[in-house]
Each structure stands twice: as C-alpha cells, then as structure tokens.
Amino acid sequence: MRVNFTVNGRPQEADDVWEGESLLYVLRERMGLPGSKNACEQGECGSCTVRLDGVPVCSCLVAAGQAEGREIVTVEGLADYAKHREGAHPGTGCGSSGCGTSLDDAKRWQSKPTDGRSGETRELSPIQQAFIDAGAVQCGFCTPGLLVAADELLEQNDSPSDADIREALSGNLCRCTGYEKILDAVRLAAARQEETV
C-alpha cells in the first residue's frame, strides 16, 4: 500500500508498504530517518518515541497505515519543531535524503575543547543542548525517544517538578545513565527556558 504523511514538516509518501509494517520501520528503513530507535519494538522502552499530530507515541506500536494523512515529528526534526513551536508551520527538517545514515557514515568526531557548548555549530533545541551539557548522553540509544518525550513535557509544563519529570519519562528506559543526569538535563532546559522568556 501507499502511505502519505508529513514528516518533520515535509509531505512524504511511502510505496509498497506491507500491512504489518510499523511507523518505526517506515521512518527508519523507507524514509532514511533512523533517529527513532528500535530497542524493543514492543512498546516497552520508549526509544522509538515520535510525535503523531503532537502526541508522543511509540512508533513501533503504530501501524504505518495509521499514520496516513498525519503529522509526524521525529528527533531529526526536533530542533526545527521547537523553533517553530508557536508558528503554524513546523519547519523544513530533514527530508528523506537530507539526513539519516548510510555506509560512509563511519564519521570522524571532531572533538573541541568546550566552554559549555560542544560539537559542531548546529542549531539544537533547548532540550537537545541540555542533554549534551548535563552529561545525559552516554551510549545515546535512549536519547532520541527521551528528547521527544521531554520536549513535549516542557511544552506542556515549563517548570516541571521532579515528580512531573519522572512521571513523564517513565515510559523511556535508559540502561546507561541511572537517570540522574537525564533529570538534570530536563531541569536545565526548563531553567534556560525560563531565563529566555
């Protein structure tokens, strides 16, 4: 079957989709957007979290056909989405060729000394930057799902309590960090958000 939907602000269509394919599979394997992760494909870990018409969902549990005509935001489009949060048109994130990974992606990592900011000069959403700054990223496999969930939390609640953060992120497993630095990251993003308002 053919599925039409909007991904990170761009209309997309996927052909020859099997009935049983999940939205996660279509995003990762057909759209070239592997940012959403495939840690359990059982709806248990939250690594595949994307926003479907604004609502965070486990994309591994969404049949691709259910996404017909709907708007999806993945971690690849998060910075843009956050930027255009107030506007009507969530940006022009990656298209099917703009990002994603192929074989020549055995990337070299440029490591720069940091004074609070790291990596290439790229525009990141506040929550993305906070995850880097707080040391909330280790292996990073849980990170995309956590970012999408945390970004939605901050959209709903600009100064969440620790209990709110724990509740909102309780569907996202992380095996590396012990969560303490993830809490730090969300607190940091919330605090920075407050500063700029």
Partner 1 sequence: MGVTGSPTNIQQRSKTKGGIGESTLRPDGTLKVTGEFAYSSDMWHEDMLWGFTLRSTTAHAEIKSIDVSEALATSGVYSVLTYDDLPTEMKNYGLEIQDTPVLAHGKVRHHGEPVAIVAADHPETARRAAAKIKIEYVELPVITDEASATGPDALLIHEGRDDHHIGHVPHPNIVHRQPVIRGDADEAAKRADIIVSGDYVFGMQDQAFLGPESGLAVPAEDGGVDLYVATQWLHSDLRQIAPVLGLPEDKVRMTLSGVGGAFGGREDLSMQIHACLLALRTGKPVKIVYNRFESFFGHVHRHPAKLHYEHGVTKDGKLTHMKCRIVLDGGAYASASPAVVGNAASLAVGPYVIEDVDIEAVALYTNNPPCGAMRGFGAVQACFAYEAQMDKLAAKLDMDPVEFRQLNAMEQGTLLPTGQACDSPAPVAELLRLVKSRPLPPEQQWLSAGEDADVRALPGGLSNTTHGEGVVRGVGYAVGLKNVGFSEGFDDYSTARVRMEIINGEPVATVHTAMAEVGQGGVTVHAQIVRTELGVNQVTIHPADTQVGSAGSTSASRQTYMTGGAVKNTAEAVREKVLEIGRAKLGTYHPAWATAELLLEGGKVVTDGGEVLADLVDVLEDEAVDLELEWRHRPTVAFDLVTGQGDGHVQYSFAAHRAVVEVDTELGLVKVIELAVAQDVGKALNPLSVVGQIQGGTTQGLGVAVMEEIIVDPKTARVRNPSFTDYLIPTILDTPTIPVDVLELADEHAPYGLRGIGEAPTLSSTPAVLAAIRNATGLELNRTPVRPEHLTAT
Q: Tell me which residues touch ligand FES (CB under 6 A).
A: 38-48, 58, 60, 138-142, 174-177
Closest CA to 127 of 156, 106, 102: 156
How many residues bind partner 1, per CB under 8 A?
Answer: 80
79 binds partner 1 (CB under 8 A): yes
The crossing angle, in degrees rounded to 10, of helices 143-156 and 126-133 is: 120
Given the structure tokens 């840690």, which residue do they identify? 39
Separation between Cα atoms, residue 163 and residue 168, nearest integer Å:
9
Which residue type occupies 23? Answer: L
- Residues 6 or more apart whose CB falls under 8 angstroms from that of 114 comprise none
**Which is nearer to ligand FES, 12 or 177 (by Cβ)?**
177
**Minimum CB distance to ligand FES, residue 84 (Å):** 26
**Which is nearer to ligand FES, 95 or 144 (by Cβ)?**
144
Residues 9-68 that bind partner 1 (CB under 8 A): 18, 20-21, 28-29, 32-42, 44-45, 47
151 binds partner 1 (CB under 8 A): no
**Maximum distance among all Cα pairs of the chain, rounded to whole angstroms:** 50
Q: Which does 193 bind (CB under 5 to 8 A by kind): partner 1, ligand FES, none?
A: none
